Amino acid sequence: MPRVPFYQEGNTVYSADTCSRVTEAAEHGDVLLKSFARGQYPGQPIPKDSLAGLRTVGFWSAVTEQHWGLDWHRNEGIEITFLLSGKNRYETGTGSWELQVGDMAVCPPWQIHRIGNPNISVGTLMWFIIDTKIRRSQQQPKLPSWIILSDKDKNKLIRHLLYSSSQVVHLSEKFILSWKKLYRILRDAGQECPVSALAITINELLYDFLSVQEMDNKSVSSKELPRSIEMVQTFFQELASIPEQLEHPWTLREMARLCRISPTRFSHCCRQLMNLSPLNVLNQLRVRQAETMIRNEPQKSMTEIAMQCGFTTSQYFATVFKKWTGKTPTEYRNLIVSSEK
């Protein structure tokens, strides 16, 4: 069994995902999976002496609605995902997006995320993960030597990959062409890993991403914005990973103080990251936790769940819950009960 990478932050240890749900779906014939990988990931092997740090590259294609999803998980490297066809829900600890054709999502190392709402939809999803060797919070990311950008561009690329103001971007047809090229390489490959073709195409994709980010950032004058966004993103990631903190009656001023920025800057960063107000970000996280509790703790009353998730009243809880899920908490619980019969 391959050793699964882990990340340590204080006394907390996170393990990288193994994509077991994707493997099961492919084995059952639910999706077409074409990938090359190393370590714990599914796919044909990447040669040990080639493409160092590339953990997995591939695509799945689903022609029918699926009965599975990729629940909350983490990966040891920078994961870049692209939706070639269909649509899919993509969420991190700090945001939620309905991916459309041409959307590309960037997930930094060890950031919690999931795909599906809750199940995978019809479509083709592509990805690759590059390990940047981050195993502790103070370590600096490193790109492998086969990424042939200049040192200056590599530093820019790392900054954009880790601290981009938007984790999901919509690509123009010019940039989509590189992803289509990668799709054809993977689709037509046999058992042997096409090392040179993958190296060239992934370099093209990374350069394309850098170009898109540099164009977008020409209108951004504040040099402190990336750092501010990083602080806000980390704050909400920690809230999502420690559900007990959601019970706290957070205020905008308190959240901003913990991130060491002004309330105005905190609100601006929330808009940049997730296109939501700070209150809506909080409510979204609280609703996600409430969904988990309703599924896993049927003995608890809705009032208990509401209070433990940080809602001040059951009525407000029901209103917010329906806004984000389309169902009241009771309707959601009844749906779960009926599906288990």
- Convert the pLDDT of each residue in 107-162 to its tens digit: 989 888 999 978 999 999 999 999 999 898 667 788 999 999 999 999 889 888 87
Of residues 302 and 237, the one with the higher pLDDT is 302
Domains identified in the chain and CATH numbers: 6-217 (2.60.120.10), 225-340 (1.10.10.60)
Radius of gyration (Cα) for the chain, nearest Å?
20
pLDDT given at position 223: 39
pLDDT given at position 341: 58
Cα-to-chain-centroid distance, residue 54: 18
pLDDT in tens, 57-93: 999 999 898 999 999 999 999 999 999 999 999 998 7
pLDDT band at 164 (very low <50, low <70, confident <90, very high): low
pLDDT in tens, 280-334: 889 989 998 999 999 889 899 999 999 999 999 999 999 999 988 888 999 989 8
pLDDT of 188 strictly over 90:
yes
pLDDT given at position 323: 87
Going edge to edge, which strands form the sheet with 44-45?
44-45, 32-37, 54-62, 123-131, 77-86, 103-107, 168-170
Residue 45 near residue 193 (C-beta atoms within 8 A) = yes
pLDDT given at position 25: 95
Query: H or E element: which one contains 61?
Result: strand 54-62
Cis-peptide into 109, omega within 30 deg: no
Q: CA–CA separation, 256 vs 122, rounded Å?
A: 40
pLDDT band at 198 (very low <50, low <70, confident <90, very high): very high
pLDDT given at position 36: 98
| Residue 173 backbone phi and psi in degrees, to 5 | -60, -35
Percent of the chain with pLDDT over 70: 94
pLDDT given at position 321: 92
pLDDT given at position 217: 53
How would you classify the pairing of strands 54-62 and 77-86? unpaired
pLDDT given at position 226: 58
pLDDT band at 1 (very low <50, low <70, confident <90, very high): low
Considering the chain, what is the average pLDDT of its residues?
Answer: 88
Predicted TM-score (pTM) of the model is: 0.66
pLDDT given at position 224: 41
pLDDT in tens, 202-216: 999 999 999 888 776
pLDDT given at position 166: 64
pLDDT given at position 276: 80
Q: CA–CA separation, 239 vs 229, rounded Å?
A: 15
